[in-house]
Structure 1
C-alpha cells in the first residue's frame, strides 16, 4: 500500500487557506482553523476476579467549537448567517434555531481542494472584530466561533 507522500507526488500536503461554506454558501476563506478534534470519553469497569487490568469502555463523543481566524472580509455572508442564529433574525424565525450543515475545506497553494470536513448542526456563537486604533497599522483581523454536533471527513485526492 502506498504511503500518503507517495500518493501526493512525494510532497506532504500544505494548506494555504480554509474555506467555510454553510449549506453551499461561501462564508469566506480563513487563515487559521482550530477545534478540528474529537474526544471519546471512557468509562472504567473493574471486573470481579480480574486484577490484571480495568476494562475501559467507550462513552460519549464530544467536539469543541471550531474557531476560524482571518483578515477582515468584505462579504456579508458571515453576518447574514450570524443574524439568523440570534437577535432579530432568530426572533423572526419564531425563536427556533436553524442548525446548518457547514463544510470546512482545506485548499492548497494552487487552489486544489485537499480534504473537506462536513460539520453537522452548526451555528455561530461568537464573532470578534478587529481592534481599532488610528496609530496601529497592523492587519485587521476577525474571528468566528461555531458550535456543532460533530463532523465527518472526505479527501479530494
Structure 2
C-alpha cells in the first residue's frame, strides 16, 4: 500500500489554480447525544446531533505582486473549491471538494526583523460541506 506525500497539492477555484504553502482544517466529525436507558446499566445509547456549526479551512501562501486574489475580500462567497493532492510523478492521488465557502479571516503573518522568513498571508474560510471525490474510476 502506497502512502502519499503531503507537500504536492493545488487548489482551484473557478478553473483558476492557486498555490499554497499550507492547508489545514480538512475534517469531518459529528456531535453525539448520549442517552441512558432506564434499567439498562451496561451501556448508553449514542445518537447523532444535528450539525450546529461550519468547519474552518485554513490556508497559508506567500505574498507576491500578483494582483487579484479572491481571498482578500472578507465575506466573499465562493461556491466551490477543489483541493488536489498529487504524487511525485504529478499523478492525482486524492481530491477533495469544498462547497459553499465564505472568507472569514485574512491576516498577514508576523513580521520579524531578526528572521529571514517569507511574508505569508493566512486565510480562514468556513465551509458548509466537503466531499472526498472517488478518483479510482
Question: Which residue does the alignment assign to 2:9?
Answer: 18
- Following TM superposition, by how much is the alpha carbon of 1:13 offset from its aligned partner in structure 2, in angstroms? 1.3
Stretch of structure 1 that moved more, 31-40 or 99-108: 99-108
Q: Equivalent residues in 2 for 1:33-72 (5 A)? A: 33-61=23-51, 63-72=54-63
Which position in structure 2 is the counterpart of 1:8? none
Count matched residues. 135
2:101 aligned with 1:110, yes or no? no
Q: Relative to 1, partners in 2 of residues 1:111 and 1:137: Cα closer, same or farther, differing over 3 Å?
A: same
Say whether the 8 Å CA contact 1:22–1:102 is kept in structure 2: yes
The alignment partner of 2:46 has SS state of: strand
Q: How far apart in 2 are the matches of 1:134 and 1:19?
A: 31
Structure 1 vs Structure 2 CA RMSD: 2.5
Structure 2 unaligned residues grouped into runs of 5+: none
Deviates more, 1:54-63 or 1:131-140: 131-140
Return the TM-score normalized by structure 1.
0.71
Q: Residues 39-83 of structure 1, C-alpha deviation per residue, up to 9 Å, x if partnerless?
A: 2111111222222111011123455301112333444442x3543
Does the 8 A contact of 1:20 with 1:103 survive in 2?
yes
TM-score with structure 2 setting the length = 0.79
Q: Which runs of 4+ in 1 moved over 6 A?
A: none
Q: What is the CA distance between 1:133 and its match in structure 2?
A: 5.5
The structure richer in helix per residue is: 1
Structure 1, gaps ≥5 residues long: 6-10, 87-96
